[in-house]
Amino acid sequence: MNYFQSDQNQPENQVPPTPPIPRYLTGPKRSKPILTYVLVGLTVLFYLGQVAVEQIFGFDLLFFFLGKVNEAILLGQVWRLFTPALLHASPLHLLANMYALYMLGRSYETINGHLRFVLLYLISAFGGNVLSFVLGKYNSLGASTATFGLLTAEAVFIWQNRDFFANRGRSNLINIAMILAVNLMIGLSAGTMIDNWGHLGGAIAGLVFAFLAGTRWQIDRVNGIPAFMDQRTKKDAWLAFGLVFFAFAIIAAIPFFSR
């Protein structure tokens, strides 16, 4: 019995078949919304600190050092243009803002990434507190300056990528407009202690930042596969942050020169 087979009938230089190139569209890059969770947790910890310290000293010591107080800012305590976003006046106040941060923050950070999310949050808080400092006379606190920036940034993202959203994008924009309108009407109602200037400043800062640096999709081919690509870069995010910060810093300087 012949245990050896002749290779005369075997094809020479046999090449394995090339797998077909997939034709499906690769989805956009997504980030885990880690910083959203961190900010929610940090803000809750600050509120618990407010409650604990008030029980010990009889007054809100954290607000005393970190809240938006115009007279203190005029004395040079400019960190108060950022830190009020970490403080809240009541459990309901905290719950409302953390719900907004949780919903809007996860959405924005997932699509836009960690850097743009944290820069947007900071510049919205800054813009809101600056406008409140310049045009408002009352003390204030709360993360709503930043969450209003997240809301307008979401609207800008949908608008700039409207070709990818179709009718769903239009309905989302209408919902955002209704939320802004309702909050404005509540803020203008008699007897409310709502910082409308803070909301407006945060909304403007978030809108401008997102317009300059928010994700703008285009379809490119990567290794022959169509894929979502972001036209914006980290440099765009830092540049937008710097421009918006500079603009609001000029506004914040007005009361210092008008005294």
Active site residues per annotation: 144, 199
Separation between Cα atoms, residue 104 and residue 223, nearest integer Å:
34
Separation between Cα atoms, residue 141 and residue 43, nearest integer Å:
12
Separation between Cα atoms, residue 142 and residue 97, nearest integer Å:
8
> What tokens appear for 101 in the block?
């941060």
Number of Cβ within 10 Å of residue 85's Cβ equals 30
DSSP 228: E
Give 220's strand partners. 227
Backbone angles phi, psi at 85, to 5 degrees: -65, -15
In contact, 53 and 60? CB cutoff 8 Å = yes
The amino acid present at 190, given as its one-letter code, is: A
Write the CB contacts of 46 (distance below 8 Å, at least 6 apart in sequence): 62, 86, 87, 88
User: In the block, which residue shows the tokens 């407009």?
Assistant: 177
CB-count exposure of residue 204 (10 Å: 0-12, 13-18, 19+): buried
In contact, 174 and 225? CB cutoff 8 Å = no
Strand (E) or helix (H) holding 161? none
